[in-house]
């Protein structure tokens, strides 16, 4: 499917889901400078401010020309979401090739520490600020503070955090699912901070699907997330899997997520499970609109090669029923900004409710069931945008 020239020329549209946003844009360095300001606001708990920058960056990512003093005056300054403050930063960048505040922030110890802390799974800006306020600055400080056990090589040891119940109940109840401890997350950090190349994403996908094939042949799957948007290196792997197969006559297979994770764990492929959602007890929501997909957030490791252990990776498995498969694919392809505006567009402009688990009309809760990804766009009255142009 080709993204139309109509979309390509629609770069000033208000919603990110109307614009074509490439992975790398003509104003990439400017976007990186502004992203430091966005990140800084986010780390300092200024969410509204951060969102303002995020919207500005998103509109610049879709702008198809290098910004110059000329087109800045005639066009760029008039793009939506570029308020006075942000316009002055852009101006500064045009003049000097950098933004002074971004440079200052980059150098600040506080920014560096907060940024570092939030690379640890489960630590958000607020927790990071708490840690900073009690004097913690480095990862070593944290290892000491949280009393993480070190191995003979001086490297932190990850305690296993498996939360499947020992008696192999099909789906453990939600109350039995503790969050991954900071201790475990800290020990996993060394691995999890490393980026995942595309070839390894594909290898992980085929290993997972081969295991699933043994449980239930004929399930569909799509690798989503940044990989699908064309990123060369990902922070994690996100896979949308159909909870139905040719084998099941296309009907939803109950508890497939839990069964697969159990199997992967037994095979030594999954080492930690951070979250495992059960299926809904009664499918009560199925008649109108069910708001959550079955999913597992895990740590995954490929089998060793020549006795050499592989890097542990974050793997998210999202299971979708026949009705929800294509909304799940769209909802998990991202980017975050694209998704945010997709939901907003659906609500404000179309009287629809969109999320990964389905699409309904607001006034009568009528469920819309798309038969393809293109169908999702059609039903929301949006022009098709290729996944590689959803990098808002
Ligand atoms: P990265 O960092 O290389 O993994 O980049 P992404 O874009 O793959 O980021 P990621 O993995 O955090 O999220 C993938 C997309 O899935 C993201 O655009 C938004 C969506 N997403 C992430 N978490 C959730 C969630 O809990 N619920 C729903 N509905 N969507 C989510
Ligand atoms: Mg991802």
Same domain, 187 and 311: yes
CA of 335 from ligand 1 middle (Å) equals 7
Residue 213 has pLDDT above 50, yes or no: yes
Tell me the average pLDDT of the chain: 91
Q: What pLDDT sits at residue 200?
A: 98
Alpha-carbon Rg for the chain, nearest whole angstrom, is 23
Same domain, 44 and 103: yes
Same domain, 119 and 101: no
Q: Is the CB of 236 under 6 A from ligand 1?
A: yes
Mean pLDDT for 82-97 is: 98
CA of 186 from ligand 1 middle (Å) equals 21
Nearest CA to ligand 1 atom 14: 225
Residue 332 has pLDDT above 90, yes or no: yes
243-302 per-position pLDDT tens digit: 999 888 899 998 899 999 999 999 999 998 888 875 433 343 343 334 479 999 999 999
The CA distance from 280 to 144, in Å, is 41
CA of 230 from ligand 2 middle (Å) equals 11
Among the candidates 286, 302, 320, a domain finishes at 320
Q: How many domains does the chain have?
A: 3
CA of 144 from ligand 2 middle (Å) equals 30
Residue 144 has pLDDT above 80, yes or no: yes
Query: What length does the chain have?
Result: 392
Angle between helices 84-96 and 100-107 (to 10 degrees): 90
Helix (H) or strand (E) holding 244: strand 237-245
The CA distance from 35 to 53, in Å, is 7
Ligand 1 probe mutation, 231, 238, 328, 385, most atoms within 8 A of CB: 238
Q: Provide the token pair at 61.
A: 């990512």
Residue 104 has pLDDT above 60, yes or no: yes
CA of 202 from ligand 2 middle (Å) equals 13
Q: What is the DSSP string of 117-158?
A: HTTSTT--HHHHHHHHHTT--SHHHHHHHTT--B-TTSPBPP
Q: How many CB atoms are located within 10 Å of the residue 285 CB?
A: 13
Atom of ligand 1 nearest to the CA of 238: 11
Same domain, 261 and 295: yes
Asked if residue 361 is part of any domain, the answer here is: no
Q: Is the CB of 226 under 6 A from ligand 1?
A: yes
The CA distance from 85 to 223, in Å, is 39
Q: What is the DSSP string of 86-113?
A: HHHHHHHHHHHSS-HHHHHHHH-HHHHH
Q: Provide the token pair at 110.
A: 């506080």
Buried b (16+ CB within 10 A) or exposed e, 20-47: bbbbebebeebbebbebbbbbbbbeeee
Out of 52-66, 176-190, 196-210, 303-317, which region has the weakest mean confidence (pLDDT)? Answer: 176-190
Nearest CA to ligand 1 atom 22: 332
Residue 178 has pLDDT above 50, yes or no: no
Q: Is the CB of 334 under 6 A from ligand 1?
A: yes
Active site residue 286: no
Helix (H) or strand (E) holding 74: helix 69-74
- Closest to 325 in 3D by CA, of 384, 239, 392: 239
Do residues 185 and 120 make contact, with C-beta atoms less than 8 angstroms apart? Answer: yes
Residue 306 has pLDDT above 70, yes or no: yes
Same domain, 275 and 165: yes
Name the residues around ion ligand 2, CB cutoff 5 A.
225-226, 236, 238
Asked if residue 44 is part of any domain, the answer here is: yes
Q: What pLDDT sits at residue 273?
A: 87
Q: Which residues contact 352 (CB under 8 A, 6 or more apart)?
A: 346, 359, 360, 361, 362, 368, 379, 380
Same domain, 21 and 76: yes
Instruction: Give the CATH number of the domain where residue 174 resides.
Output: 3.30.460.10
Residue 172 has pLDDT above 60, yes or no: no
Q: Is the CB of 387 under 6 A from ligand 1?
A: no
CA of 355 from ligand 1 middle (Å) equals 13
Same domain, 90 and 209: no
Q: What angle do CA 25, 28, 29 make, to 5 degrees?
A: 165
What range does the domain containing 136 cover? 110-145
Asked if residue 372 is part of any domain, the answer here is: no
Residue 125 has pLDDT above 90, yes or no: yes
Same domain, 92 and 133: no
Q: Is the CB of 91 under 6 A from ligand 1?
A: no
Confidence band, pLDDT 50/70/90 cuts, at residue 182: confident
Mean pLDDT for 342-347 is: 98
Asked if residue 377 is part of any domain, the answer here is: no
Same domain, 178 and 313: yes
Among the candidates 121, 145, 169, a domain finishes at 145
pTM, two decimal places: 0.91
The CA distance from 317 to 300, in Å, is 11
Half-sphere exposure of 265 (CA within 13 A, CB side): 22
The CA distance from 291 to 288, in Å, is 10
Do residues 146 and 169 make contact, with C-beta atoms less than 8 angstroms apart? Answer: no
The CA distance from 191 to 271, in Å, is 13
Q: What pLDDT sits at residue 162?
A: 53
Q: Is the CB of 231 under 6 A from ligand 1?
A: yes
Out of 5-14, 208-217, 285-294, 329-338, which region has the weakest mean confidence (pLDDT)? Answer: 285-294
- DSSP structural state of residue 317: E
Surface-to-core class of residue 224, CB atoms within 10 Å of its CB (0-12 exposed, 13-18 middle, 19+ buried)? buried
Q: What angle do CA 335, 369, 279 make, to 5 degrees?
A: 75
Q: Is the CB of 195 under 6 A from ligand 1?
A: no
Do residues 297 and 178 make contact, with C-beta atoms less than 8 angstroms apart? Answer: no
Percent of the chain with pLDDT over 70: 91
Q: Provide the token pair at 125.
A: 């800006």
The CA distance from 58 to 69, in Å, is 20
Q: Which one of 61, 89, 183, 231 is the catalytic residue?
A: 89
Out of 61-75, 116-130, 267-281, 323-337, which region has the weakest mean confidence (pLDDT)? Answer: 267-281
Out of 3-12, 176-185, 333-342, 359-368, which region has the weakest mean confidence (pLDDT)? Answer: 176-185
Query: Strand pairing of 313-320 and 237-245?
Result: parallel
Q: What pLDDT sits at residue 165?
A: 40
The CA distance from 60 to 67, in Å, is 9
């Amino acid at each position: 499917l080709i993204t139309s020239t109509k979309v390509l020329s629609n770069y000033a549209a208000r919603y990110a889901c109307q614009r074509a946003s490439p992975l790398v844009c003509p104003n990439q360095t400017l976007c990186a400078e502004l992203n430091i300001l966005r990140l800084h606001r986010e780390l300092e708990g200024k969410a509204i401010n951060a969102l303002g920058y995020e919207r500005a960056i998103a509109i610049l990512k879709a702008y198809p020309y290098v910004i110059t003093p000329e087109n800045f005056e005639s066009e760029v300054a008039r793009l939506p979401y570029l308020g006075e403050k942000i316009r002055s930063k852009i101006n500064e960048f045009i003049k000097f090739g950098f933004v002074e505040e971004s440079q200052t922030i980059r150098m600040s110890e506080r920014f560096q520490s907060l940024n570092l802390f939030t690379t640890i799974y489960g630590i958000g800006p607020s927790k990071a600020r708490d840690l900073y306020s009690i004097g913690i600055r480095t990862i070593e400080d944290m290892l000491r503070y949280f009393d993480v056990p070190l191995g003979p090589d001086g490297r932190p040891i990850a305690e296993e955090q498996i939360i499947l119940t020992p008696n192999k109940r099909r789906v453990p109840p939600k109350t039995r699912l503790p969050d991954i401890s900071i201790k475990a997350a800290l020990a996993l950090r060394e691995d999890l901070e490393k980026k995942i190349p595309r070839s390894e994403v594909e290898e992980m996908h085929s290993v997972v699907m081969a295991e699933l094939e043994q449980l239930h042949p004929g399930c569909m799957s799509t690798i989503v997330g940044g990989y699908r948007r064309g990123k060369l290196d990902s922070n994690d792997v996100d896979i949308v899997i159909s909870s139905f197969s040719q084998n099941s006559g296309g009907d939803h297979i109950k508890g497939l997520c839990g069964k697969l994770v159990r199997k992967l764990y037994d095979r030594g492929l999954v080492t930690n499970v951070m979250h495992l959602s059960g299926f809904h007890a009664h499918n009560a929501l199925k008649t109108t609109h069910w708001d959550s997909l079955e999913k597992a957030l895990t740590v995954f490791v490929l089998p060793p090669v020549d006795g050499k252990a592989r890097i542990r990776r974050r793997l998210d498995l999202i299971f979708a029923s026949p009705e929800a498969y294509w909304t799940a694919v769209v909802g998990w392809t991202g980017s975050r900004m694209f998704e945010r505006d997709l939901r907003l567009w659906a609500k404000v402009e179309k009287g629809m409710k969109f999320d990964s688990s389905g699409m309904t009309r607001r006034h009568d809760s009528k469920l819309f069931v798309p038969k393809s990804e293109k169908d999702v766009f059609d039903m929301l009255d949006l022009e098709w945008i290729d996944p590689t142009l959803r990098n808002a």
